[in-house]
Amino acid sequence: MKKRIAILGSTGSIGTQALDVIRQNPGLFTPEVLTAQSNCHLLIRQAKEFSPNAVVIRRDDCYQEVADALKSYPIKVFAGEDSLSQIVEMDSIDLVLNALVGYAGLKPTLTAIAACKNVALANKETLVIAGDLVMKQALKNRVTIIPVDSEHSAIFQCLTGERYNTVEKIFLTASGGPFHGKNKVHLMNVKKEAALKHPNWKMGDKITIDSASLMNKGLEVIEARWLFNLLPEQIEVVIHPQSILHSIVQFIDGSMKAQMGLPDMRVPVLYALSYPERVSSAFPRFSFKDYPQLTFESPDTGIFRNLDLAYEALHKGGNMPCVLNAANEIAVQAFLEDRLTFLEMPDIIEKCLQTVPFIYQPSYEDYVDTNTDTRHRAVEYIRNI
Ligand code: NDP
Ligand code: MG
């Protein structure tokens, strides 16, 4: 039986790589649902190639174009935000791959869990915003959250066969991004074109900026806290510019396990889709000759302040990681539109963390309100900067 997969965000970086994995394993997987925000052309092309049961286009004004293009195909077409989360309830879906970017990923994850579907999670923002709620619901419904993020996939793989209470700490590796080693004077004037040039990974714009500012690693610390039920003190970030060791677990006996390989997101995607099986692939193999040196160093949080802000939000708990995420989404968008400089991004996030009212044990509605409130404040702070 082929595994039937709903790919939320099939037109993005992770989504297209997941379809590549499926293309190479037609006997194992089939896309049951494909979704996009506004990229109708690619969604239509993907639908014609893979014949899913249904497609969802998030923007209502794109519906007609997609429906017209697919009218002679036996493919259901839906539009809108509600359809995007409701679609994951379809009986015929075996696994939901959430490759949406940002806050938009939260509701579909919760709907998938409520419908007792296992989730392959690339959308780290889901766990940053509401990790407690998501993991509690997953436990209650016996749903497995399989990480797609390369670092978390690495930890997940290292933990296979181990008992949970034998973990002392984990090391999340970070490439350092395109501005690794640069000083504040340099960063004062950097533009989006430079920030979008990641040395090792080709990814969507938002995560690429997050990687350059180290916010991506901050978000990943919070993601790891919830996925692996760790204390903040048990999670350490280490800069590893070659991106070969994807992350490391240190056990209570001092032994360490790392998962390594070339930086290619199709590997963790394939693992997440095939879990608990491991299947063969023809992806390029690592050669020690190409990497005579693997190096490690501490992050410079004096320059890249976002990492400390993420730890601060994690320590405070409650709705603060949700504030961090919302403020960051607005700051990144403003940076991409040349309305905010690179070094001003942490200022906006810090101000939101200081001013948004704290909620100790937020409900889903509290997270929705915190997200909206923080976005309004961040927009205002950027306007007045
Ligand atoms: P992209 O921006 O490349 O793709 C995002 C996808 O989501 C696209 O299909 C896009 O549609 C759709 N989308 C965007 N906004 C919305 C919205 N508001 N509602 C519905 N759909 C939306 O992102 P990435 O693939 O790079 O990243 C996806 C997630 O995976 C992120 O959370 C990221 O942090 C995580 N991740 C990504 C990695 C990577 O290598 N790219 C590595 C590790 C984690 P459209 O094309 O129409 O705009
Ligand atoms: Mg990652």
Give the residue, out of 21, 37, 44, with the most ligand 1 atoms within 8 A of its beta carbon, to mutate for a pocket test.
Answer: 37
Tens digits of pLDDT across the chain (385 residues): 999 999 999 999 999 999 999 999 999 999 999 999 999 999 999 999 999 999 999 999 999 999 999 999 999 999 999 999 999 999 999 999 999 999 999 999 999 999 999 999 999 999 999 999 999 999 999 999 999 999 999 999 999 999 878 999 999 999 999 999 999 999 999 999 999 998 888 899 999 999 999 999 999 999 999 999 999 999 999 999 999 999 999 999 999 999 999 999 999 999 999 999 999 999 999 999 999 999 999 999 999 999 999 999 999 999 999 999 999 999 999 999 999 999 999 999 999 999 999 999 999 999 999 999 999 999 999 999 9
- Residue-level pLDDT at 51: 98
Asked if residue 276 belongs to a domain, the reply is no
Of 147, 177, 206, the residue at which a domain comes to its end is: 147
For residues 156 and 130, membership in a common domain is answered with no
- Please tell me the number of the ligand nearest to residue 150's CA: 2
Specify the CATH number for the domain of residue 86.
Answer: 3.40.50.720
For residues 190 and 94, membership in a common domain is answered with no
At a CB cut-off of 8 Å and minimum separation 6, what does 360 contact? 317, 318
- Residue-level pLDDT at 71: 98
For residues 174 and 246, membership in a common domain is answered with yes
For residues 8 and 77, membership in a common domain is answered with yes
Asked if residue 268 belongs to a domain, the reply is no
- Residue-level pLDDT at 229: 97
CB 95 within 8 A of CB 118: yes
For residues 160 and 239, membership in a common domain is answered with yes
Specify the CATH number for the domain of residue 366.
Answer: 1.10.1740.10
Beta bridge partners of 30: 4
- Residue-level pLDDT at 202: 87
Give the DSSP letter string of 118-157: EEEE--THHHHHHHHHHHHHHHHTT--EEE-SHHHHHHHH
For residues 134 and 7, membership in a common domain is answered with yes
Distance 193 CA to ligand 2 centre (A): 21
Asked if residue 133 belongs to a domain, the reply is yes
Of 278, 302, 326, the residue at which a domain comes to its end is: 302
The encoded tokens of residue 373 equal: 């409130």
Residue 191 sits in which domain range? Answer: 149-263+293-302
Distance 111 CA to ligand 2 centre (A): 24
Distance 38 CA to ligand 2 centre (A): 25
Q: Which atom of ligand 1 is nearest to the CA of 125?
A: 32
Which residue has the CA at smallest separation from atom 12 of ligand 1? Answer: 9
Give the residue, out of 10, 13, 106, with the most ligand 1 atoms within 8 A of its beta carbon, to mutate for a pocket test.
Answer: 13
Indicate the number of domains in the chain.
Answer: 3
Give the N- to C-terminal CA distance of the chain in Å, as an integer.
Answer: 57
The encoded tokens of residue 317 equal: 């708990």
The strand order across the sheet containing 76-79 reads 76-79, 54-57, 29-36, 3-8, 95-98, 118-121, 145-147
- Please tell me the number of the ligand nearest to residue 152's CA: 2
Q: Which atom of ligand 1 is nearest to the CA of 205?
A: 2
Asked if residue 310 belongs to a domain, the reply is no
Which residue has the CA at smallest separation from atom 32 of ligand 1? Answer: 123
Asked if residue 71 belongs to a domain, the reply is yes
Ramachandran angles phi, psi of 135, nearest 5°: -70, -35
Distance 101 CA to ligand 1 centre (A): 4
The reply to whether omega before 276 is within 30° of 0 (cis) is yes
- Residue-level pLDDT at 253: 98
Residue with tokens 């909620």: 359
Of 271, 302, 333, the residue at which a domain comes to its end is: 302
For residues 23 and 128, membership in a common domain is answered with yes
For residues 40 and 101, membership in a common domain is answered with yes
Q: What residue ranges line ligand 1, CB within 6 angstroms? A: 9-15, 36-39, 58, 84, 99-101, 104, 122-125, 149, 201, 203-204, 206-207, 265
Asked if residue 324 belongs to a domain, the reply is yes
Q: Which atom of ligand 1 is nearest to the CA of 9?
A: 9
Which residue has the CA at smallest separation from atom 9 of ligand 1? Answer: 9
- Residue-level pLDDT at 45: 98
For residues 200 and 154, membership in a common domain is answered with yes
What distance separates the 2 farthest-apart alpha carbons in the chain? Answer: 62
For residues 204 and 91, membership in a common domain is answered with no
Asked if residue 307 belongs to a domain, the reply is no
- Residue-level pLDDT at 184: 94
For residues 297 and 154, membership in a common domain is answered with yes
User: How many CB atoms neighbour CB 121 within 10 A?
Assistant: 26
CB 227 within 8 A of CB 145: yes
Give the residue, out of 101, 124, 215, with the most ligand 1 atoms within 8 A of its beta carbon, to mutate for a pocket test.
Answer: 101
Q: Collect residues with CB below 5 Å from ion ligand 2.
A: 149-151
For residues 34 and 121, membership in a common domain is answered with yes
DSSP state of 76: E
Asked if residue 206 belongs to a domain, the reply is yes
